[in-house]
A and B are shown apart, each in its own frame.
Chain A
Amino acid sequence: MRRPEQLSPEEARELEAIDVALAGGSVDHDLRELEDLVHEVRATAPEMSPALTARLERLIEHGPEPATDPVKPPGPRRRWVLVPALGTVTAAVVALVVVLGNGNGDSSDTVIQETSGGKDAPALARPGSGGVAAGESAPSAAGRAQSAPAPAASNRPGPAIAPQRRRKVERSIFLVLATPKDKVASTADDVIQTVDRFRGIVASSSIAADDRSGGEATFDLRIPTSRVDEALGALSKLGHVAERRQDLQDITASFDSTQARLDEAGAERRGLLKALGKATTENRLDSIRARLRLVRAQIASARGRMASLQRRANYSRLSLTVRGNGKAEQGDGTWSPGDAANDALRVLAVIAGVALIALAVAIPLALLGAAILFGARVARTRRRESALDAT
């Protein structure tokens, strides 16, 4: 039916003559028959009845009456067009929900990091504040409270009060600092300088390099207890505090018992020395001397233990880890124009992601809808054309 066929020059000439005749012009002599045919066919054209003319005049003047067209109005048919559009909107909403869902996951991660590692994390004792770590036990806390210098009660006038026993407390602190991966070594140097400044001791240290994360430096430090809070504050400023905890152990009982043993041994020694001066027999002298050696050994041992306890009370143990966080240095934390540009890029990336997901869903839906529309249109056209073949 629609085979492309080329008109011969003669056929094209005849068609042109028909157009000329229809326009009222005259054609070549050999085509007069065609011109006559045009006029005769035109002359046989059916004429509109006066009723139809009046009907159409009314239509043109007043417009069609409502619902006179038995065929469905174009509105409902156009609803087919809404199918792919509805699919596109649905896909966009789904994509937005997915992306926002991922975004919430990121933000919750951030919250976790802040909770566990923020310098202002409420679970951690602030340097120099005298606060108590969340995990600290009540006895320990009490012990630490009593480890402070004795109150100046004796300076106050009033009745004599028995001097408060001075508690001996051993502090152990665990601190993890996170730094940019290119700052691990320099932060380790700063740690050493800070420890020296507070007259602390570096018992041991080690640095492990790692290109990806930046590596890790670990320190086993002894800081004078009287300055440990101050030193802790200074060390915490060297990096991002990722973790910090401390433990307090009351060693007053050990100290007292050792002191008691030392006092007893001293008293015994003094007694033995007096007895030695009064001894008259050789056997008695040998017996006292042997006992004196034993007591002296006990005194030396007690003094050694006393010194050890005193060091544990006077120096706090600090285990410090400087850890690279795998990222390069990001500036000073203020929101700069560069940060704004990065945020803008991030927003654009999210929007592009949403658009991509929406397109991935919408394109197949749109193609399907278009195919359905096209098929319906072709079918309708074929049905109409078939009416011509049947007549």
Chain B
Amino acid sequence: MAQPSNTAMQSFDALYRDSARDLYAYVRTLLHDDASAEDVTALAFERAYRRRTAFDARRGSQRAWLFGIARNAALDELRRRRRSAPLIADLPDEQMRALDEQAEQSLRRATVRVALDELPARERELIALKFHGGLTNAELAAVLGTSESNAGTRVHRAVKKLREACHAPS
């Protein structure tokens, strides 16, 4: 493998420092599984590292490019999971832990977490990309392969559903 230049290394290092936590949060929200999320996050960074010289700034930001790679890896993981045994998510444990907390804030967050987890996968992914990934609508469009206006519309629809789920009686 060709040795990357110092500039490319520094650029990739900066991308990692800036995006790793958000990327994991997005993948974890999408996959509902810690182990799979860790593997997919690591895999996304490996792929991005190998393809870093192929990055084209004209096609979007580095962050959108990285999230696109992670999305493909996460969807491949979902497909593998669909072919194998269905995953029994560890959500109930977290839910129980959250419910055990008495603080109002914790209760509120637990409600949001539950509402988020109960969203359809497409809406949940949009919320994760927007709220955890912090992507702009243009970056979202690049990741999803759609137009910016369509990405905005879909994000707004997903947020609306999330708000409704948060206010729904449990």
Interface positions of A (Cβ within 8 A of B):
2-7, 11-12, 14-15, 18-19, 22, 33-34, 37-38, 40-49, 51-53, 55-56, 59-60, 63-64, 68-71, 73-74, 381, 383-391
- Give the interface centre of B38, B116, B131, B152 by most chain A CB atoms within 10 Å: B131
Question: What are 19 inter-chain pairs, A to B, with CB distance below 8 A?
Answer: A3-B150, A12-B152, A15-B137, A15-B152, A37-B159, A44-B112, A46-B29, A46-B37, A47-B21, A49-B34, A52-B42, A55-B38, A59-B46, A69-B50, A71-B43, A71-B73, A71-B76, A388-B121, A388-B122
CA distance A82 to B24 in the complex (A): 36
Q: Which residues of A contact B45 (CB under 8 A)?
A: 56, 59-60
Q: How big is the B interface, by class?
A: 35 or more
Task: Give the dominant DSSP class at B's interface.
Answer: helix
**Contact A63:B43 (CB < 8 A) given known A41-B127, A46-B37:** no
In-complex Cβ contact of A38 among B75, B131, B137, B166 (8 A): B131
Docked complex: B28-63 residues within 8 A CB-CB of A: 28-29, 34, 37-38, 41-43, 45-47, 49-51, 54
Chain B residues with CB under 8 Å of A52's CB are: 24, 38, 41-42
Complex Cα distance, B86 from A391, in Å, reads 10
Please give the residue numbers on chain B whose beta carbons come within 8 Å of chain A beta carbons, in ascending order: 1, 12-13, 16, 20-22, 24-25, 28-29, 34, 37-38, 41-43, 45-47, 49-51, 54, 72-73, 75-76, 78-79, 82, 108-109, 112-113, 116, 121-122, 125, 127, 130-132, 134, 136-137, 145-147, 149-150, 152-153, 155-156, 159, 162-163, 166
Please name the residue on chain B nearest to A33 by beta carbon: B163
How far in angstroms is the closest Cβ of chain B from A27? 13
Query: In the complex, which of the residues A11, A14, A33, A388 has the most CB atoms of chain B within 10 Å of its own CB atom?
Result: A388
Asked if B108 and A40 make an inter-chain contact with CB atoms under 8 angstroms apart, the answer reads yes
